Structure 1
Amino acid sequence: MGDAYPRRIVCLTEEPTEVLYAIGEEHRIVGISGFTVRPPRARKEKPKVSAFTSAKIDQILDLKPDLAIGFSDIQADIARELIRAGVEVWISNHRSVDGILEYIRRLGAMVGAGEKAAALADRARANLDRIAAQAALLPKRPRVYFEEWDDPLITGIRWVGELVRIAGGDDVFPELLEEPLAKQRIVADPLEVVRRAPDIVFGSWCGKRFRPDRVASRQGWADVPAVRDGELHEIKSPIILQPGPAALFDGVEALHAHIAAWARR
């Protein structure tokens, strides 16, 4: 009897690749996103057939996938082309920590590895609980500005703000966390960041290197506590801006390390 689950999966974003490798189902993957960095061996083993807003449709079709997995309405055009070509497509649209945990479980169930995926989700939840317990013991909580892009200024998406809170900080733009699209999280007036006086600035500029010197030199920012105290830190985008396991392990741990160091100084 053959395998009843998808056997030739194209991952249009990073998080399904990471999950499938983590639960031992990487043999099902036949193509990945060019942005994939986790696990490192995926880049060596699998052909890269997509970016985030574009994909090599002909190359994907040559791989004869029985499932393509992507993320968000931003990939709607790619999904439409693949669907028209007869490919089954799953586009997830999760934007929260709980959504990431549910995504891991759902993806595992889709490939017949529900128990392994549930175990991964349980480990992630336990890690979040561990970090939250450590954060609760800190003597103070910093005000945090998370910058996802620098021109224009774009603040963090919902799961990032939730991870900041778990790690022991408070996002200075809580009203923007629920906005799913980057254009809805633009901080039109950079001086609004100044007015909100963050103690820590985290930068994760969607794949390009964060430049603390550029942040510090912005007009009017010299008196921002984070700038004054040198609390300008990069969080690498692969471990925080992808709604997958990395954010729930390496991402939140990186946030907490900086927050704990600030709180204890």
Structure 2
Amino acid sequence: MADHFPQRIVCLTEEPTEVLYALGEEHRIVGISGFTVRPARARKEKPKVSAFTSAKIDDILKLEPDLVIGFSDIQADIARELIKAGVEVWISNHRSVDGILAYIRRLGAMVGVAEKAEAYARKAEQHIEAIHAAAAELPQRPKVYFEEWDEPLITGIRWVAELVRIAGGDDVFPHQAGESLAKHRILEDTGEVVRQAPDIIFGSWCGKRFRPERVAARPGWEAIPAVRNGDLYEIKSPLILQPGPAALFDGLDAIHGHIAAWAARQA
């Protein structure tokens, strides 16, 4: 029986690659993002044809894709060029935990494996529920500041704030988290973090290593409990800044691990 679903997919970001591999449908992928690190074997098996804000359009067209998958308004220009060239493009724009779960189900349905996608999404939901239950047993919830970038300071996006809450913490800038665009999550006044007095600071600087010593050295930040007690931790960006499975599994685990250790020390 012929497979009438997409056979030659180019993934412009990591999350569709990770999902398709998890579903056993990696044979459909013919090109990936150069930023892809999950799963590790994808980098060895698939040609890299895009960054995040740019792509090798000619190389993509040579692959003769029947579907290109990208993410967000940031890839609008890439999508436009491919659409003009006659390529079918799907740009997702999910920004929440529920959105990631729906994305897994939708992508699975698009390639004809809705049942496998449903099972995988339910596995993610069960993991989230288990972490949430464990967090509910913690003796205390820390206030958490998540920093997505340092120059300027950019606070965490919605799915990150939601995962912090699931893991047992309270994001100190929940109103900022609802802003989908990074430019709307810039902290003009760095003293606002000092006033919020977070117990834990997580950093995930996309594309470069988090430097807790630089954060601790910011003027006035020595008054912050997290800085005073040395509770500054990096969450690797591939684990948390991609709105895909990594965030729901390893990213959530990493955040919860630090929060649970902090709570145990308070007890």
Shorter-normalised TM range: over 0.9
What is aligned with 2:130?
130
What is aligned with 1:175?
175
Tell me how far apart the structure 2 counterparts of residues 144 and 207 of structure 1 sit (CA, whole Å). 22
What is aligned with 1:155?
155
Q: Which amino acid aligns with 1:218?
A: R
Please list the CA deviations of residues 142-187 of structure 1 after superposition, one character each: whole Å capped at 9, or x if unmatched. 0000000000000000000000000000000011111000000001
Tell me how far apart the structure 1 counterparts of residues 219 and 252 of structure 2 sit (CA, whole Å). 30
Please list the CA deviations of residues 16-73 of structure 1 after superposition, one character each: whole Å capped at 9, or x if unmatched. 0000000000000000000000000000000000000000000000000000000001
Q: Which amino acid aligns with 1:40?
A: A
What is aligned with 1:29?
29
What is aligned with 2:229?
229
- Provide the TM-score with structure 1 as the length reference: 1.00
1:176-195 aligned at under 5 Å gives the runs 176-195=176-195
What is aligned with 1:211?
211
1:1-265 aligned at under 5 Å gives the runs 1-265=1-265
Tell me how far apart the structure 2 counterparts of residues 187 and 131 of structure 1 sit (CA, whole Å). 30
Tell me how far apart the structure 2 counterparts of residues 182 and 40 of structure 1 sit (CA, whole Å). 28
Please list the CA deviations of residues 188-232 of structure 1 after superposition, one character each: whole Å capped at 9, or x if unmatched. 111100000000000000120000000000001001000000000
Please list the CA deviations of residues 90-121 of structure 1 after superposition, one character each: whole Å capped at 9, or x if unmatched. 00000000000000000000000111111110
CA RMSD of aligned residues (A): 0.4
- Provide the TM-score with structure 2 as the length reference: 0.99
Tell me how far apart the structure 2 counterparts of residues 87 and 25 of structure 1 sit (CA, whole Å). 21
Q: Which amino acid aligns with 1:155?
A: T
Tell me how far apart the structure 1 counterparts of residues 124 and 2 of structure 2 sit (CA, whole Å). 32
Tell me how far apart the structure 2 counterparts of residues 33 and 43 of structure 1 sit (CA, whole Å). 9
Give SS of 1:83's match.
helix
Deviation at 1:3, TM superposition (A): 1.3
Give SS of 1:252's match.
helix
Give SS of 1:32's match.
strand
Aligned residues, how many? 265
Q: Which amino acid aligns with 1:81?
A: E
Tell me how far apart the structure 2 counterparts of residues 81 and 52 of structure 1 sit (CA, whole Å). 15
Deviation at 1:2, TM superposition (A): 2.3
Tell me how far apart the structure 2 counterparts of residues 207 and 14 of structure 1 sit (CA, whole Å). 14
Give the 4+ runs in structure 1 shifted more than 6 A.
Answer: none
Give SS of 1:222's match.
helix
